[in-house]
């Protein structure tokens, strides 16, 4: 599919800086008038996933996957939900394990390759038996999970799963892990690690025999955290084995439904290996769009309807189906 170099995204005056694009929507943006109905999905391993539905009576559903240490109430998720609702689509925003406000039951958390949980969410949506068309949207880690899911499950996807859109995706997790330790003085890395460490402490309080916090305070990198927790809890050999196996880039060629990947050139989280030009140009289904600006899960836009460019771009893309 084509690589779209000339994107329609234009930064608002004064917001061209990639860090401003990244931070402002997270810390400043307020998204109101989104109403959720929460449902709990049980998983085959005796755990649970909490999903939040925002319904308009539509026969179209969009399943939304958030990013690292996010949840269904983050502004980028609620902004997408609100815009989709305005254009006549139901939305289902699911929370990764331990991200819904209640700690999950298992020692395992979530990780970038946890496509089995997204499959469980899709299977739940199918049981509702009211959606003729289902789409997926993912942000950052959630975008990686989304693209990896439609690749890994390419031969068994239901016919009513029509397409997927992913934003700011760390297609190569190894590069992103290193990049975050260097960019902006490690500011983003420190924030993520602070939240992840707090989650480990909460988990330790619930199951001290299975989760240790020895050495937790000394961890200063994703490599350290993933070696200590993510890899052993999810049966990877080490951090590098996890990053290699969980990255979506190696499996993009397996995608068999239309998919749009949008990564900004100035995204401070991404390295050149996160821009799969070759994979997109050789694919029948994957389109890569590369705006000059946008930051990480930014793509800010100020207008009367309150929708950001990324949200309008999804509506535009889905309307083609």
Q: What's the average model confidence in pLDDT over 267-279?
A: 97
What is the count of structural domains for the chain? 2
144 and 63 assigned to the same domain: yes
For the record, the structure tokens of 159 come out as 């016919």
- Domain residues for the domain of 190 are 173-246
Q: What's the average model confidence in pLDDT over 197-216?
A: 96
199 and 54 assigned to the same domain: no
Model confidence at 2, pLDDT cuts 50, 70, 90, reads confident
For the chain, counts of helices (H) and of strands (E): 11, 9
253 and 138 assigned to the same domain: yes
86 and 153 assigned to the same domain: yes
The enclosing H or E element of 40 equals strand 37-42
Q: pLDDT tens digits, residue range 216-252? A: 999 999 999 999 999 999 999 999 999 999 999 999 9
pTM of the complete model: 0.96
**pLDDT given for residue 39 in this prediction:** 98
Which segments of 254-304 are extended strands (E)? Answer: 259-262, 286-289
127 and 239 assigned to the same domain: no
236 and 289 assigned to the same domain: no
**pLDDT given for residue 300 in this prediction:** 94
Euclidean distance between the first and the last CA atom of the chain, given in angstroms as a whole number: 16
Asked whether the beta carbons of 246 and 112 are under 8 A apart, the reply is yes
For β-strands 48-54 and 60-65, DSSP reports them as unpaired
For the record, the structure tokens of 149 come out as 């899911």
Query: Last residue of some domain: 202, 217, 246?
Result: 246
CA distances for 291 relative to 4, 176, 202, 297, angstroms: 8, 19, 39, 12
Report whether pLDDT(304) > 80: no
The enclosing H or E element of 136 equals strand 133-139
Asked whether the beta carbons of 72 and 94 are under 8 A apart, the reply is yes
The enclosing H or E element of 60 equals strand 60-65
Query: Last residue of some domain: 224, 246, 268?
Result: 246
For the record, the structure tokens of 245 come out as 């196996």
Q: pLDDT tens digits, residue range 18-52? A: 999 999 999 899 999 999 999 999 999 999 999 99
The domain spanning residue 150 has which CATH number?
3.40.50.1820
Query: Last residue of some domain: 212, 246, 280?
Result: 246
Asked whether the beta carbons of 131 and 60 are under 8 A apart, the reply is yes
């Amino acid at each position: 599919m084509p690589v779209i170099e000339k994107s329609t995204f234009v930064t608002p005056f004064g917001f061209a800086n990639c860090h401003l694009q990244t931070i402002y929507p997270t810390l400043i943006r307020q998204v109101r008038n989104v109403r959720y109905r929460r449902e709990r999905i049980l998983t085959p391993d005796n755990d649970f996933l909490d999903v939040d539905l925002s319904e308009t009576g539509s026969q179209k559903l969009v399943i939304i996957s958030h990013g690292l240490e996010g949840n269904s109430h983050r502004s980028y998720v609620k902004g997408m939900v609100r815009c989709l609702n305005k254009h006549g689509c139901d939305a289902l925003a699911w929370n990764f394990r331990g991200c819904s406000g209640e700690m999950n039951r298992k020692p395992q958390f979530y990780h970038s390759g946890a496509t089995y949980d997204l499959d469980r969410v899709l299977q739940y949506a199918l049981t509702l038996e009211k959606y003729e068309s289902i789409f997926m949207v993912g942000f950052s880690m959630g975008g990686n999970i989304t693209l990896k899911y439609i690749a890994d499950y390419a031969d068994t996807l239901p016919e009513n799963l029509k397409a997927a859109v992913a934003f700011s995706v760390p297609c190569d997790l190894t590069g992103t892990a290193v990049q975050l330790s260097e960019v902006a003085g490690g500011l983003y890395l420190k924030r993520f690690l602070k939240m992840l460490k707090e989650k480990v402490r909460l988990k330790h309080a619930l199951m001290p025999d299975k989760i240790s916090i020895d050495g937790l305070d000394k961890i200063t990198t994703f490599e350290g955290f993933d070696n200590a927790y993510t890899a052993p809890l999810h049966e990877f050999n080490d951090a590098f084995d996890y990053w290699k196996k969980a990255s979506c880039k190696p499996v993009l060629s397996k995608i068999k439904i239309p998919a749009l990947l949008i990564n900004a050139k100035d995204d401070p989280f991404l390295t050149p290996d996160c821009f799969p030009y070759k994979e997109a140009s050789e694919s029948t289904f994957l389109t890569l769009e590369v705006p000059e600006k946008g930051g990480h899960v930014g793509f800010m836009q100020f207008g009367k309807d309150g929708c950001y460019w990324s949200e309008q771009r999804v509506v535009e893309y889905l309307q083609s189906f």
